[in-house]
Amino acid sequence: MRVSPDLVCSRQTVSSSGACLHPRAPLPRRIAFSRKFRLNRSVRNSLLIVFGFTAATAIILYTMGQPLICKCGYVKLWHGVVISSENSQHLSDWYTPSHIIHGILFFGFFTLILRKASINVRLVLSLILECAWEILENTDMIINRYRESTISLDYFGDSVINSSADILAMVVGFFLAARLPVWTSVALIVIFEATTTYLIRDGLALNILMLVWPLEAVKAWQGG
């Protein structure tokens, strides 16, 4: 029995997903199908990478003794009181913009030094840095440093849910930088830093300064 050529899937007419494309289908349609599949696979891989790193970091922090949620017993979407025992315990706070800036800076840095690397390779490297910082930040050394050098006298480390949300905030910043023009990313950094500096007298730059080289004048200004 003869089989119609139109019903046979040749190697050239099978998509990367295994679907049989009609040999007479317009070439642009077949190309679009292939690109869509690759895009979906890339997005899926990105989500798996983010989930894996976030989950691993959460487990490590929990084994280090950090509470899953705020010791107050509830979870808030936003906590806006900086000098309080609930700071860095809920899903977001005034330091969330700093983690978005992390993502923007990480994307820019790894794009600059690894121009040919895929987006997911740069994402993995960014997550390694962010997760490593979240773990280091919750060690006794850094917690005590914050308490000694800044106005964060009530700081005893982040809750696991807060650290997880911080990692996701970094991912948001990373993909914003991947999609937005460079000038827009720079503008976001300036806006975030200016806003937090004005409203809470703190931000990423001041946080790094007070952690590495604390100044009494800045500490007095922040506490005033």
* Residue pLDDT, tens place only, 175-200: 999 999 999 999 999 999 999 999 99
Q: How far apart are CA 169 and CA 71, in angstroms?
A: 22
Q: What b/e readout covers 188-200, taking b as 16+ CB neighbours within 10 angstroms?
A: bbeebbeebeeeb
Task: Tell me the average pLDDT across 111-116.
Answer: 96
Residues 8-37 have pLDDT tens digits of 444 444 444 555 555 554 555 555 555 655
Q: How far apart are CA 5 and CA 31, in angstroms?
A: 21
55 three-state secondary structure: helix
Q: Which residue has the tokens 């996701």?
A: 168
- pLDDT surpassing 80 at residue 111: yes
Residues 55-95 have pLDDT tens digits of 999 999 999 999 999 999 999 999 999 989 999 999 999 99
Which amino acid would we find at residue 96? T
Confidence of residue 54 (pLDDT cuts 50, 70, 90): very high
Query: What are phi and psi for residue 20, nearest 5 degrees?
Result: -90, 115
Residues 143-171 have pLDDT tens digits of 999 888 887 777 899 999 999 999 999 99
Say what the pLDDT of residue 11 is: 46
